[in-house]
Amino acid sequence: MDGILNIDKPAGLTSFDVVARVRRLSKEKRVGHAGTLDPAATGVLPVCLGQGTRVIEYLVDTTKSYRAEIELGVSTDTYDAEGKVTRQADPAGISRARLDSALDSFRGQIEQVPPIYSALKHQGKPLYELARAGINVELKSRPVTIHELELIGFQQPTVTIEVVCGKGTYIRSIAHDLGQILGCGAHLKSLIRLRCGIFDIKDAVSMPQLEEAFRDGRGQQFLHPIDSVLSDLSSVAVNDDEANNIRNGRPLALESFSIPKQVETASENRSRAYTLDGKFIAVLRFNPDDGQWYPQKVFSQSDAIPE
Three-point CA angle 157, 162, 165, nearest 5°: 130
Residue 201 pLDDT grade (very low, low, confident, very high; cuts 50, 70, 90): very high
Is the full-model pTM beyond 0.85? yes
Asked: is 3-62+198-227 a CATH 3.30.2350.10 domain? The reply is yes
> Residues 23, 28, 30, 33: is their CA dihedral positive or negative?
negative
Name the more confident of 292 and 74.
74
Residue 307 has pLDDT above 60, yes or no: no
Mean residue pLDDT across the chain: 88
Q: Is 290 a catalytic residue?
A: no
Q: Do domains 3-62+198-227 and 232-298 have the same CATH topology?
A: no
Name the more confident of 14 and 67.
67
Range with lowest mean pLDDT among 16-30, 169-183, 220-234, 246-260:
246-260
Residue spans of the domains in the chain: they are: 3-62+198-227, 64-196, 232-298
Instruction: Report pLDDT for 258.
Output: 54
Residue 256 has pLDDT above 60, yes or no: no
d(CA 202, CA 210): 15
Instruction: Report pLDDT for 125.
Output: 63
**What does DSSP say about strands 158-165 and 142-155: parallel, antiparallel, or unpaired?**
antiparallel
* CATH H superfamily, domain 232-298: PUA domain (2.30.130.10)
d(CA 59, CA 203): 17
Residue 87 has pLDDT above 90, yes or no: yes
Instruction: Report pLDDT for 265.
Output: 46
Residue 117 has pLDDT above 50, yes or no: yes
Instruction: Report pLDDT for 263.
Output: 44
Name the more confident of 155 and 132.
155
Name the more confident of 265 and 177.
177
Provide φ and ψ at 160, rounded to 5°. Answer: -115, 125
Name the more confident of 303 and 221.
221
Instruction: Report pLDDT for 133.
Output: 60
d(CA 303, CA 305): 6
Asked: is 64-196 a CATH 3.30.2350.10 domain? The reply is yes
- What is the crossing angle of helices 207-215 and 15-26, to 10°? 10
Q: What are the tens digits of pLDDT across the range 3-16?
A: 999 999 999 999 99
d(CA 105, CA 117): 23
Residue 182 pLDDT grade (very low, low, confident, very high; cuts 50, 70, 90): very high
Full 3-state SS string of the chain: CCEEEEEEECCCCCHHHHHHHHHHHHCCCCEEECCCCCCCCEEEEEEEEHHHHHHHHHHHCCCEEEEEEEEECEEECCCECCCCEEEECCCCCCCHHHHHHHHHHHCEEEEECCCCCCCCEECCEEHHHHHHCCCCCCCCCEEEEEEEEEEEEEECCEEEEEEEECCCCCHHHHHHHHHHHHCCCEEEEEEEEEEECCEEHHHCEEHHHHHHHHHCCCHHHHEECHHHHHCCCEEEEECHHHHHHHHCCCCECCCCCCCCCCCCCHHHHEEEEEECCCCEEEEEEEECCCCEEEEEEECCCCCCCCC
Q: What are the tens digits of pLDDT across the range 95-112?
A: 999 999 999 999 999 999
What one-letter code names the amino acid at 300?
A: S
Range with lowest mean pLDDT among 80-89, 126-135, 202-211:
126-135
* Catalytically annotated residue among 2, 8, 38, 177: 38
Residue 259 has pLDDT above 80, yes or no: no
